[in-house]
A and B are shown apart, each in its own frame.
Chain A
Amino acid sequence: MLIHMEAITRRYEVGEQPVAALDKISITVPRGQFVAIVGPSGSGKSTLLNMLGCLDRPDSGSYLLDGVDVSNFDDERASDFRNRRIGFVFQSFHLLPRLSVLENTLLPRRFLRGSDEGLEQRAHELLERMGLQRHLAHRPSQLSGGQMQRVAIARALLMKPALLLADEPTGNLDSRSAAEVMALITEVHAEGQTVLLVTHDADVAARAQRQISLCDGRIERDSAA
């Protein structure tokens, strides 16, 4: 199992009242699976994404990712883990406007503690595969939305992550670019990459092998169950 979440709970203080954003959620995802997480806003999707991406710690429960118990990592270890084992793709791409396409792709290298051998080579390969080899020196503002999201995917894959987390990756794209990006994600998955995709688009969710729907911090339905 790549992901093994056991009874994860996360509460927030809203006024005086603690509200459980995640209420004893247990999820297991085998290596290489393509999972879509769906649910209305306020269902706990972002909290779960924070949790899965090691950006937040649960109040209780345990989370093993790639065999490592990450639920009690401090900021230092969690950041290092995110840097090397998790790739993020976001709805609005989040490329840094003053960096070139190549520099954006290589951004995770900045926070890498250890050898960065071969990363530049890998960035070139990834961008070539994304069809962006002629845009290496371009700024994000010179690219189309689909191209920007492809740069973001290249950036997410740079460190060969164990888990690719995508948060509404097609939300800001026209249907043609969206289809291209989904095809790309599907292709990456086909090569063995575990992908976890958060969306409220049923068509996008349908491309995944498994759908988990969240409601009020609980799992309402899991297609694998």
Chain B
Amino acid sequence: MTAVVAGVDIGSTTAKCVVLGEDSRILGKSLSVVGVDIVKDAERALEAALADAHLSRPEVSFITGTGYGRYKVYFGQLVVTEISCHARGANFLFPGTRLVVDIGGQDTKAIRIDDKGEVVDFAMNDKCAAGTGRFLDVCANALGYDVGEIGPLSLQARRAVKVTSTCTVFAESEVTSYVSRGKDPKDILAGLHASIANRTLSLMQRVGVEPEVTFTGGVSQNEGMVHALHRRLGVPVNVSPLSQYLGALGAALHGRERLSGGAA
């Protein structure tokens, strides 16, 4: 039995895939944008990660799907919620993790975990775009920036403006009105990041804030957000270039356990 496993995480915005070798080394990974045909996107995510690993499909012995579109990973043998996957992935990268904060394209989760990476409690906002990656997208657009630029720019702020709107739509208008009043876009961006940090903190407080805190999901790649969360929490947050892949990584790890007869 070969022991190469793969995890496919179909998020609301992007598809991630991680291929794990026998020693739990990451052999390959992929990240792609999700379109209308989720089934095909899942296939492509796997193919891309396999190409990255220089492996072919028959060499993978177990595939686990997770994320918002996990039921569209038809070629998988197991489906696990993204909450369990982020917990497992965070535990793998940062074994001291007790709280996972996952800010994705369309929802935000706070997951409290134990020392084995099992979920103890969680809270989430998936009802509304406020405080999610989508909120940043919309506001970046309103300011004429690409979403990838706004984190570093927010770090150059001198005086963050206070963003009072919770609703993404109203925040967009608020941003526009700040611009027309001549506020520095960097200060507005810092205000937006601080506002998300506030919302995230209240979600975290629902499950209990306990270090170490590991920040995952697409928004964890935004250094402005890492800074804002750190400031709001008063403790450093773990981030890694792999943070965005933690769901897929966790899925692969769950698959590995299932394969070796353990509980998934």
Is the pairing of A and B real? no
- Interface positions of B (Cβ within 8 A of A): none
- Interface positions of A (Cβ within 8 A of B): none
